[in-house]
Structure 1
């Protein structure tokens, strides 16, 4: 079905793998479209409770936009509006956790793609870079939204205006990356986290994402309202009923993600 990515599911776990290793998983119209379709499949498939996004066997997670392929439209804003933005919005609005398994370099829009995930586990030997300024552009595909919320305005300006490499130990310190592991341990660590989310209360995690997406643009009173609305939905879920029963019966939970 897909040409530039690999999509597979194993029970409640979905795996989306960028599959253009010959160009270090550079992004063109085709792969952006297929990524959008894959995340839509995850949203529509009620059995999927966690998604892992990775760069597969490529030396890079994603090297950014495929400049060698040329521009489909000289108006770069049109390209963002038609291809990048729908994908990023689809990822953020997906009511299920997305793990980024950062196997290699995440550069430019590739860094934006990683930031759009909910949690990043990275090979400790790699780095991220907002290299847009090196070709006379500014960061896009969500970087100017995600980064300031993680590291603040001044640090975002520094990283974006210099385009310097942020190696993983610093990325962990800044809060961009959740965990750094040795390259040989990356697969196992990502899978361990996927297993945890695959048996978690998926509905509540989806509501967490929904509220977090709106937190910074609203005042406390409004966010308190969002929390109340989301908690009402969680309280009507089967997982909540199971969680309370398991607590009362002093046994492990058996969440179904419903």
Structure 2
């Protein structure tokens, strides 16, 4: 496994076609501050531009996946003059949404390997990935209301799409902690793995998802992520445009050539 250029608050490594982004502030259960947010964005940009990387796993160092927003940031927010609170908050929200959107729209399969507690923004970060694998010792909680806040990292968008509107309301209104067995039953996560094999299992799944044509996956993901907001006719139209692109791709041309060669070989062997 090869480490990429060093970061301070995260690490980014690659193993074959799979990159692993690890939140690396274990002393605060990988709480996200401004510095980490910026590094995550830089890492996602690097992954998006690297054609050798076909999938991304995101996990946390130490005992937690991500405890949410950094408490020091909350304290700083309370200490500024009242007239500056709203604009400071708006800027911070904008940066958070940029980070979550960059992960959600990454044109490659993404898997959250939830190794411990994923609370608040940490839960949002997991839910915005294409797939979520949780350790059997992990927990998830939409804990914002316990701090007098609303889910601001995309949870109000991603959670209802996974568990349905009524169940999402219950989880958000209560802020309660969800164990992996219940999360799997609700559809909040996709798989449960033993804690000691979680990361290996997530990377193996990511490698499996990396085998198909990257362009076809990227185009399919882009359309699927919009499909709940679009009409059937709009999805058909976007699919037609994407297919036209695929028709001229090297992946498709090579695949057809290989298929025809195998067919010719079978016919030759049968004669």
Q: TM-score, normalised by structure 2?
A: 0.86
Distance change (3 Å), C-alpha of 1:234 and 1:171: farther
Instruction: Indicate if the aligned counterparts of 1:112 and 1:142 stay in contact, CA closer than 8 A.
Output: yes
Normalized per residue, which structure has more helix? 2
Distance change (3 Å), C-alpha of 1:246 and 1:124: farther
1:67-86 alignment, distance < 5 Å: 67-69=71-73, 70-71=75-76, 74-75=85-86, 76-81=89-94, 83-86=95-98
Partner of 2:36: 31
CA positional deviation for 1:74: 2.8
Unaligned runs of 5+ in 1: 252-258
Q: In angstroms, what is the RMSD of aligned CA positions?
A: 1.7
Question: 2-side partners of 1:12 and 1:126: how far apart?
Answer: 27
Partner of 1:21: 26
1:8-51 deviation digits (Å, cap 9, x = unpaired): 22332211110000000001000011001100001111211111
Question: 1-side partners of 2:140 and 2:196: how far apart?
Answer: 19
Question: 2-side partners of 1:242 and 1:102: how far apart?
Answer: 37
Partner of 2:113: 101
Instruction: Indicate if the aligned counterparts of 1:99 and 1:121 stay in contact, CA closer than 8 A.
Output: yes
Instruction: Indicate if the aligned counterparts of 1:127 and 1:166 stay in contact, CA closer than 8 A.
Output: yes
3, 6, 11: which is aligned to 1:6? Answer: 11
Question: 1-side partners of 2:256 and 2:200: how far apart?
Answer: 31
Unaligned runs of 5+ in 2: 1-5, 78-83, 264-271
Bigger Rg, structure 1 or 2: 2
SS of the residue 2:112 aligns to = strand
1:95-174 alignment, distance < 5 Å: 95-174=107-186
Partner of 1:60: 64
